[in-house]
Chains A and B, each alone.
Chain A
Amino acid sequence: MTLAATLLAAEGGANPLIPHDYELIVGIFAFAVVFLVVGRMLVPRIQKTLAERTDAIEGGIKRAEDAQAEAQALQQQYRDQLAEARQEAARLREEAREQAAQIKAELREEAQAEARRLIEAAHAQIEADRQQAFSQLRAEIGRLSTDLAGRIVGESLEDEARQRRTVDRFLDELESSSAQAVR
């Protein structure tokens, strides 16, 4: 280089290929400052940031994948829970239906028992009434008998046959009325 420079310098005084001393010094200084500040201080910083950015982007992708997996798991879980809830609801409905049927049967049973009880009470009442009627009738028959007897005794016994007929008729009446009362 110096060789070439000297060769060219031989041509004339102001050779643009011959560097000025002070420009060399300034050039060294100017570049050294740039290299120290930019090359040594700032470039490592941006390199670190770029590496972090790459990490962040990759991390972002990873996070997105994780989130998606989580969402899918959650969806599956919800689906399971929903199916479970449906089953539960069906079971509850079934149970309610059974209970309703049971309650209905019980009520019917109760109603029937009540009805029976009422019928029985009615029967008993009727029987009692009948007994009462019968006993009253008995008393009536006695009274009527005495009455009749009085009448027979009171009336002159005009006709024996007639008398006999009267007694027979009375007895027949009595019989039929007694049979009616007993029935």
Chain B
Amino acid sequence: MSALTVLASSGDEFGAPTPEELFQLPPIIPGVDWFTKPVLLALLSSVLVIAFCWAAFANPKIVPRGVQNVVEYGYMFVRDQVARPFLGKDADRWMGLLVSIFFTVLVWNLMGVIPILQFPVASHIAFPAVLAIMVYVIKVYLGMKHQGAVGYFKNMMFPPGLPKPIYVLLAPIEFLSNLIIAPFTHAVRLFANMFAGHMLLAFFSMVGFWFLFEKLTPLGAPVGVVGVVMTIILTGFEMFIQFLQAFLFAMLAAMYIGGSLHAEH
């Protein structure tokens, strides 16, 4: 959809899509400024996650059938790969949050390769930021609750067992990395991956569209074929990245929470 608008405005010359063209989308209903494609997809993602989980877990059976099998597989994945390694015996208490984060981010990301929709929600920083800030607040709150306000900062900035002069260097670095940079990278890692992935897919699909449909020439056709092939390959690759980033985002959340529950050594 976005490729068409780009093509219309670029005249005779092939022009690579710019971030502005790809990511600054007009309101779906003219006049309602807030209701853009990413907003629609974010809401749709929530509906999808809830619908799937409801179908699977509203009336869970001891012997799973159909949808329950699939969603349960996702649940098991989060429990065994995300929650348990970082939270240990507290894993079950945080499964609700971690499952919500993982499924939401996964669906947000997968929106990038679903035909027609084709826009990763997380490529707009606001969405990953909301989750990252929430995890950050939980992390600091739990840290102060379980280790004490002073103890939390002391454990973070002055880990025991190091020579005294090191702390001069270590304390500010630890403070910066834990309290300033961590939430930022948490959100930006997801955002940037989705942003770049979407640009890549858009670029190659536009190459294919331009050289095979818009301006079909003997010389340009092979380039168009390359564009189409690359689009297909990169879509597969992108699906892997989308899953990986969702997994990583949930994993980091579990790691931050686990780190606050139990002081690191």
B229 within 8 A of A: no
Interface stretch (choices A24-32, A156-164, A173-181) = A24-32
Check A26/B92 contact, CB under 8 A, given A1-B183, A34-B50, A37-B53.
Answer: no
Q: In the bound complex, what is the Cα–Cα distance between A44 and B97 (angstroms)?
A: 11
Question: Which residues from 8 to 28 on chain A have a C-beta closer than 8 Å to any C-beta of chain B?
Answer: 14, 16-20, 22-24, 26-28
B25 CB → nearest A CB, Å: 11
- A56–B63 Cα distance when bound, in Å, is 10
Q: Are A45 and B60 in contact (CB under 8 A)?
A: yes
Chain B interface residue bracket vs A: 35 or more
B125 interface residue, CB < 8 Å from A?
yes
Partner of B129, one of A19, A30, A37, A44: A19
When the two chains form their complex, are residues B43 and A26 in contact, meaning their CB atoms are under 8 A apart? yes
Residues of A within 8 A of B99 (CB): 38-39, 43
Which A residues are in CB contact (< 8 Å) with B96?
35, 38-40, 43-44
Question: Nearest Cβ in chain A — how far from B73, in angstroms?
Answer: 12
Name the CB-closest residue of A to B59. A45
The answer to whether A33 and B61 touch across the interface, beta carbons within 8 angstroms, is no
Interface residues of B in 156-200 (CB under 8 A from A): 180, 183-184, 187-188, 191, 195
- Chain B residue at smallest Cβ distance from A17: B125
A56 to B60, CA, bound (A): 14
A52 at the A/B interface (Cβ < 8 Å)? yes
Q: Give bound CA distance, A20 to B42, whole Å.
A: 14
Q: Are B62 and A34 in contact (CB under 8 A)?
A: no
Q: Does A53 contact B (CB under 8 A)?
A: yes
Give, as a whole number of angstroms, the nearest-CB distance from B50 to chain A.
Answer: 5
Q: Is the CB of B45 within 8 A of A30?
A: yes
The 4 closest A-B pairs by CB, nearest first: A39-B96, A19-B126, A23-B126, A22-B34
Listed in ascending order, the chain A residues whose CB lies under 8 Å from chain B are: 1, 4, 14, 16-20, 22-24, 26-28, 30-31, 33-35, 37-40, 42-49, 52-53, 56
Chosen A-B contacts, 17 in total, with CB atoms closer than 8 Å, are A1-B183, A14-B20, A16-B19, A16-B124, A20-B124, A20-B126, A24-B126, A30-B104, A31-B100, A33-B46, A37-B54, A38-B103, A43-B99, A46-B75, A49-B57, A49-B62, A53-B62
